[in-house]
Amino acid sequence: MMESVHALVFPNPSQGRMTLLYNSPDNADYLLKVTDLTGRILQHESLSALRGSNKHEIDLGHVAKGVYMLSLENTLGENIVIRLVID
């Protein structure tokens, strides 16, 4: 059975600067997307993860206060969605 991907974003809520901690079962590429509640993509980037624990800094200081969705998807199609609050 394959280990699944786990992720955590903190602080959440934040003023825009957050840290994404995620574990990867293998060395893999990930696509990080931040969307608003209408589905509009505000930020997307490709991440290269090593097997184990990975960390990525996110700066959403340019977006308005509100609720957003962060999606982290790997090349196997595993996807995690985390609700972000910018205050």
2: confidence class by pLDDT, cuts 50, 70, 90? very low
* Number of helical H runs and strand E runs in the chain: 0, 7
The two tokens of residue 74 are 């790997």
* Residue 25 reports pLDDT greater than 70: yes
The CATH number of the domain where 64 resides is what? 2.60.40.1930
Q: What percent of the chain has pLDDT over 70?
A: 97
**Is the whole model's pTM more than 0.85, yes or no?**
yes
| Averaged pLDDT for residues 35-58 | 97
Number of domains observed in the structure of the chain: 1
pLDDT in the model for residue 4: 73
State how far the Cα of 43 lies from the Cα of 17, in Å rounded to an integer: 13
Decide if 1 is inside a domain.
no
Decide if 11 is inside a domain.
yes
The two tokens of residue 5 are 């991907």
3: confidence class by pLDDT, cuts 50, 70, 90? low
Q: Which domain holds residue 27?
A: 6-86
Decide if 79 is inside a domain.
yes
